[in-house]
Amino acid sequence: MTEKTQQLEQIERLLGSHTLHGSESLCKLLRYLANHAWEHPGPPPKEYQIATEVFGRQDDFDPHVDSMVRVQAGRLRSKLAEYYATEGVNDQLLVEMPKGNYALIYHPRTPIPQRANGETKHDPTASLHEDSPSVRNWFTPLLLVSIILGVVLGMAADRFFSRRAANAHASVASSDPPVSYQIFWKGFLTSPQEPWVIFSNAAFVGRPDTGMRYFNAARDGKSPILDHYTGVGEVLAVHALDGVFRSLRQDLRVKRGSLFSLDDAKNNDLIFIGSPSENLTLLEIPSTQSFVFKQITSGIRAGNVSIVNVHPQAGEPAQFLATPSDQPLTEDYSVVALTKGLDQSHSVLILAGTTTIGTQAAVEYVCQQSTLEQLLTRLSVSNPVEMRPFEAVIRVKVAKGVPVESELIALRKSPT
């Protein structure tokens, strides 16, 4: 029997179970996730895809406002746990959906050892089956209530301790982090100092209540500068990085770009979030050479930021441009680049889009196991010592301000 056939049979067993009986929405979600994994190997679907393709939400669905998909995913995780604690206790294939994404994971299970007479080795009901009918009448409901109570208490405890761990920034993990994390991020785990995350916060003039714009030295020389605002993408990016590094049992130090100094660059491993158009300190340190951010100064796209392809290869454009700023953003481009720092013993990782949404997508690309594995494959890297500086461009599809799909479209590897 092939692996896919075993998985298919297990999914059908779950869909026909008493546990999922009557839960039409959860059955639709489970079947969709299973089919998506078989038909589209690679990154799991995003919240937006699930909301529109499974639950019929409109194109303006915003996962930051509507938590419906996360709620349904949590319910499905609970039902899977309940199934394997009850009617699926002897199933040989375990289906799980780890928190943090919408990918189904299959694990083989060792059947419960049985005695020669066919009874399970540890059957708590074996002696009760020989008792009076009255015992049987109350035992079954009691057992079911106990199992359900155990599942509920387990979920409550998991949420409680997860929340405590997050609030305390504790480096706790139930299992080892994915191998791809250990390979890609190894260079940021060896220094005695924790890595620094430098997020962009551009210089603005004006006020939030009357309107703000980017600071322009030519006309705003005497205007007071606001440098304490940043984009949504940068905020979510810091959160994503914190999750990865907690799984690697490593702290991070976060600093806004306007407070960053060259002394910081000399003594630390750095992760820059945001393009030079907003993260101005990137202009003062070693940066990208093949894919360079540049502000357009003339024409209808004046003021927009592009990624210049310094040495285009066959089939590549000379520059990468997001959707024009006078239209709803549907496409952006981002750079993911690993370079050496001012001190060659330190590493610098640049994660930047031409907009804040592109920046979010760049960080998610190296924080999600599936896309990180794709990057390592393209880099031909299978262990940490093989990591070399590189520069990559990813194309980002955007829907209602949310990056829903990312694709690596250009790559330059440093000579070994």
Neighbours of 227 (CB within 10 A): 15
CA 192 distance to own-chain centroid: 27
C-alpha pair distances (Å), 214 with each of 202, 223, 277, 294: 7, 11, 10, 16
Q: Which string of DSSP letters, residue by residue, matches 207-255?
A: ETTTEEEE--TTT-TTSPPB-----HHHHHHHHHHHHHHHHTT---EEE
d(CA 117, CA 119) in angstroms, rounded, equals: 6
Task: Write the DSSP symbol of residue 268.
Answer: S
- Structural contact between residues 169 and 362, judged by C-beta atoms closer than 8 angstroms: no
User: Quick one: pLDDT at residue 119?
Assistant: 46
CA 138 distance to own-chain centroid: 47
- The class level of CATH for 3-112 reads mainly alpha
Q: CA angle, 99 as apex, 96 and 103 as ends, to 5°?
A: 55
CA 392 distance to own-chain centroid: 18
d(CA 134, CA 149) in angstroms, rounded, equals: 23
Choose the weakest-confidence range: 70-79, 133-142, 335-344, 368-377: 133-142
With CA atoms as reference, report the closest residue to 399 among 335, 323, 305, 293. 323
Tell me which of 270 and 223 has the higher pLDDT. 270
The structure tokens listed for 335 are: 């750079």
User: Quick one: pLDDT at residue 200?
Assistant: 83
Q: Which string of DSSP letters, residue by residue, matches 90-119?
A: T-SEEEE--TTS---EEEE-PPPPB-TTS-
Residues 314-346 as b/e (b if ≥16 CB within 10 A, e otherwise) read eeeeebbbbeeeeeebeebbbbbbbbebbeeeb
φ/ψ of 413, rounded to 5, equals -105, 140
pLDDT band at 111 (very low <50, low <70, confident <90, very high): low
Q: CATH 1.10.10 spans which residues of the chain?
A: 3-112
User: Quick one: pLDDT at residue 212?
Assistant: 81
Tell me which of 146 and 410 has the higher pLDDT. 410
φ/ψ of 338, rounded to 5, equals -115, 120
pLDDT band at 176 (very low <50, low <70, confident <90, very high): confident
Q: Which of 54-68, 115-129, 232-246 has the highest mean pLDDT?
A: 232-246
Q: How far apart are the first and last CA of the chain?
A: 43
φ/ψ of 306, rounded to 5, equals -120, 165
- Structural contact between residues 390 and 291, judged by C-beta atoms closer than 8 angstroms: no
pLDDT tens digits along 316-330: 999 999 999 889 999
pLDDT tens digits along 123-160: 433 333 434 444 444 444 544 545 555 555 455 544 54
- Structural contact between residues 370 and 376, judged by C-beta atoms closer than 8 angstroms: no
Which residue, chain included where needed, has tokens 């694990």? Answer: 107
pLDDT band at 1 (very low <50, low <70, confident <90, very high): low
d(CA 229, CA 202) in angstroms, rounded, equals: 7
The helix or strand, by DSSP H or E, that contains position 381, with its residue range, turns out to be none
User: Quick one: pLDDT at residue 338?
Assistant: 95
With CA atoms as reference, report the closest residue to 282 among 216, 350, 225. 350
Q: What's the predicted TM-score (pTM) here?
A: 0.60
d(CA 414, CA 390) in angstroms, rounded, equals: 6
d(CA 301, CA 315) in angstroms, rounded, equals: 23
The structure tokens listed for 68 are: 């419906």
Share of the chain above pLDDT 90, in %: 32
d(CA 228, CA 410) in angstroms, rounded, equals: 33
User: Quick one: pLDDT at residue 132?
Assistant: 42
d(CA 186, CA 387) in angstroms, rounded, equals: 9
- Structural contact between residues 203 and 215, judged by C-beta atoms closer than 8 angstroms: yes
pLDDT tens digits along 205-259: 888 888 888 777 778 777 887 777 788 888 899 999 999 999 998 989 898 877 7
CA 225 distance to own-chain centroid: 34
